[in-house]
Amino acid sequence: MPEPSNVDQATQAVEGLSLEKKPKGRKAQTEQEFNHQKHQFQASGPRINTSDWLYDSEVLEKLDSTKKVDRVHILHACEKAYFCRDYAKCLELILVAEKLFGVELEDDNANDNLKEEFANLGRKTKKSSKVERHVVELLHIKEACLRRMAQI
């Protein structure tokens, strides 16, 4: 059991620290960005989700790597195929995603380096909408799919 005087000395060092929580500042959207987004929605309208909307070839052909919604769409399609145990479809969609992201996930050494670099960047980057995060997620799905296919 520590001496009370030792505890008091330790707490005195901490007393001067400020524990104020800083409010998170959200990046404001410019009027131009808002109008562009509004125009996109008015041109295309809301997306109608049918039972196979994730696999719709017309939608998959029009995906744009600069739009987060499109990048997430192809990832969700890969994930759905994987969890429905349609591994051939999953690998087919991964090829579409590789073209969309402009990467080739065939080199195991490069893939390991990619995962390691991404892990070293820290938690904040992992939550961002950057393409790197989506590529690493795609790589994880591909590896899991190939493992499952090897078990069959």
Residue 119: the pLDDT is 62
35 located within any domain: no
Q: What is the pTM of this model?
A: 0.63
Residue 103: the pLDDT is 79
> Residue 117: CB partners within 8 Å, gap ≥ 6?
none
Residue 125: the pLDDT is 44
DSSP 128: S
11 located within any domain: no
Q: Report which of residues 6 and 45 the model is more confident about.
A: 45
> Residue 106: CB partners within 8 Å, gap ≥ 6?
none
CB 44 within 8 A of CB 67: no
Residue-range definition of the domain harbouring residue 86: 49-152
* Residue 93 exposed, middle or buried by CB count within 10 Å (0-12, 13-18, 19+): buried
21 located within any domain: no
Residue 75: the pLDDT is 94
CB 77 within 8 A of CB 54: yes
Residue 14: the pLDDT is 61
38 located within any domain: no
CB 12 within 8 A of CB 6: no
pLDDT reading at 24 higher than 50: yes
pLDDT reading at 7 higher than 70: no
Q: pLDDT for 99-142, tens place per residue?
A: 888 877 676 665 566 666 666 665 444 444 477 888 888 888 99
Domain count, the chain: 1
28 located within any domain: no
Q: pLDDT for 53-107, tens place per residue?
A: 889 888 898 888 888 888 899 999 999 999 999 999 999 999 999 888 887 767 6
